[in-house]
Amino acid sequence: MKFTIAVLPGDGVGPEVIGEAVKALEAVGHKHGHAFEMRHGRIGGNAIDEFGTALPPETLALAKGSDAVLFGAVGGPKWDSPNATVRPEDGILGIRKELGLFANIRPVKAYPQLVNASPLKPNVVKGVDMIILRELTGGLYFGKPKRRWTTSRGRRGVDTMLYTEKEIARILRVGFDLARGRRKKLASVDKFNVLATGRLWREIATELGREYPDVELEHILVDNAAMQLVRNPARFDVMVAENTFGDILSDEAAVLGGSMGMLPSASLSDLPSAGKRAKGVGLYEPIHGTAPDIAGKGIANPMAAILSAAMMLRYSFGLDREAAAIEAAVEGVLAEGYRTQDIAGDGGQVVSTSKMGEVIVGRI
Ligand code: NAD
C-alpha cells in the first residue's frame, strides 16, 4: 500500500528522534511491501525564524494533504521571551484545531525491563498497560467566557467548562471502542458530585454503556482517579476524561512509564475499526517536549517517537501487523539491554539516539 506522511520534526530533540522514527517506518515499509512518501515541513520555533509564523500555510496544507502527520516537538528558550508576539506552541495548537483532532490517545506501558526506572515502587508499576484517552478540543481550555478583568474589589478571572452532548458522546465512543479491542474495561472520569458537566458526562457514559454490554464501565471521580493511578495503576485498561482532567492525569500517568522518552501518543478525528484506514488525518507525536537540556547531544531516547510511528501504522493506516513489528522490536532491544541515558538506571549498554534507532531497525 502507499501512504503519504507529513514529517514535522520541530525544534530541539524533535529532529533527532523523528529522524529515527522515519528510519523505522522505512524499514517496516521495506519489509512488508508498503511505500511511505515522507514530505518534510517546518513548524514551531524554526518556522518562526524562517517565515515569522509557527504554522506556515505550506505546512498546514502539507498536513491536510497527507494521510497522517508525524510530529516531533516545538519550543525552547530561544523563543520564550514574554514579549514575543508569536509562540512555537501556536504551531501545534493550530494544527490540532485545523485537523479537528478531538481524541488524544496516550498508551502507558511499564516495560518489565524498566520497572526500576519509575520513581514509584516496582510492585506498583509492574504490569501497567493502559491507555489514557483525553478529550482535546472542548471544555475549560476553549469555553467562553474566558477573560480576566479588574474591579474596585480586585482582579478577577473566568474560564468556562462547556461541553455539548455530541462532544461527550464522541469521545466516550472512542473510549468504548478502544476498550473493546483490549481488556474490555473503561474507566470514565468525571467530577459528578460537583460539576454540571460532570453529571452530564456520567449520564451519557451510562447511556452509551448499554450499547457496549461487553465492556465493563466504571465511573470514577477525578480525585480518586489521580490517587488510584499511583496506588494501583495496573487495574486500569482504558481511562477516558475531559480535556483538563485528561491533561493532568496523563502527565501523572507518564511517571509510570519510567521516562518521557518512552511514551508515544496519537491525536485523531475518528477511530477506524481495527484493520481499517482512518478517514481523517491523524497526528502522532512523542509526549515529551524539545528537551533543550539534551538537544544536539545525540543522547535523546527515540523510542517514544518510534512507538508513535507504530501508532500511526495501527490507527491511521490499519496496519496492525506492521505496528506490532515495531513494538516488538522496541521490546526486543530493551530485553537485549540497550538503553539511552534516561532509562539507564539499572545498567545495560548506554547508546546514542542513532545507535538505538539502528538496533531497532535491525530487529524490524
Ligand atoms: P521536556 O519533555 O522537553 O523535558 C523534560 C525532561 O525530560 C528533560 O529533563 C528532558 O531532558 C527529558 N526528556 C524529554 N524527552 C526526552 C527524550 N526523548 N529522551 C531523554 N530525555 C528526555 O519538557 P520541558 O523541559 O518542560 O519543555 C521543554 C520545551 O519543550 C519547552 O519549550 C516546552 O514548551 C516544549 N514542549 C513542547 C511540547 C510539544 O511540542 N508537544 C510538549 C511539552 C513541552
Strand arrangement of the beta sheet that strand 282-286 belongs to: 35-40, 2-10, 68-73, 282-286, 264-268, 103-109, 129-135, 238-241, 185-190, 216-221
Measured from the Cβ of residue 356, the count of other Cβ atoms closer than 10 Å reads 25
Provide the residue ranges of all domains of the chain, joining segments of one domain with +: 1-108+261-364, 129-256
Determine the distance separating the centroid of ligand 1 and the alpha carbon of 287, expressed in angstroms: 8
- CATH superfamily for 129-256 is Isopropylmalate Dehydrogenase (3.40.718.10)
Query: Among the options 191, 315, 338, 342, which is catalytic?
Result: 191
Task: Identify the residue whose C-alpha is closest to ligand 1 atom 35.
Answer: 289
CA of 261 to the centre of ligand 1 (A): 9
Look up 251 and say whether it is catalytic: yes
Question: Of all helices (H) and strands (E), which one includes residue 281?
Answer: none
* Domain 1-108+261-364 shares a fold with domain 129-256: yes
Non-local (6+) Cβ contacts of 150 within 8 A are 156
Structure-block grid coordinates of residue 329: 522490536
Give ∠ CA 104-185-201 in degrees, rounded to 5. Answer: 60
Q: What is the DSSP letter of 294?
A: T
Residue 300 beta carbon below 6 angstroms from any ligand 1 atom: yes
Q: Which of 78, 90, 129, 141 is catalytic?
A: 141
For residue 210, the CA-to-ligand 1 centroid distance in Å is 41
pLDDT, residue 347, reads 77
Check residue 275 and give its pLDDT.
76
Candidate from 260, 263, 330, 339 with most ligand 1 atoms within 8 A of CB, to mutate: 260
295 lines ligand 1 (CB under 6 A): no
Query: Which residues, in sequence order, are CB contacts of 129 under 8 Å at separation 6+?
Result: 107, 108, 109, 110, 234
Cβ of 301 closer than 6 Å to ligand 1, yes or no, is yes
- For the four alpha carbons of 269, 270, 272 and 273, in that order, the dihedral sign comes to positive
- Judge whether 78 counts as a catalytic residue: no
All residues at 6 or more sequence positions from 183 whose CB lies less than 8 Å from its CB, including other chains: 237
Q: What is the pTM of this model?
A: 0.94
Nearest CA to ligand 1 atom 27: 289
Per-residue pLDDT of the chain (364 residues; tens, 9 = 90+): 999 999 999 999 999 999 999 999 999 999 999 999 999 999 999 999 999 999 999 999 999 999 999 999 999 999 998 888 899 999 998 999 899 999 999 999 999 989 888 889 999 999 999 999 999 999 998 899 999 999 999 999 999 999 999 999 999 999 999 999 999 999 999 999 999 999 999 999 999 999 999 999 999 999 999 999 999 999 999 999 999 999 999 989 988 988 899 999 999 998 877 778 888 999 999 999 999 999 999 999 999 999 999 999 999 999 999 999 999 999 999 999 999 999 997 778 999 999 999 999 999 9
The verdict on whether 212 is a catalytic residue reads no
262 Cα: distance to centroid of ligand 1 (angstroms): 12
Q: Which CATH superfamily is domain 1-108+261-364 in?
A: Isopropylmalate Dehydrogenase (3.40.718.10)
Does residue 263's CB lie within 6 angstroms of at least one atom of ligand 1?
Answer: no
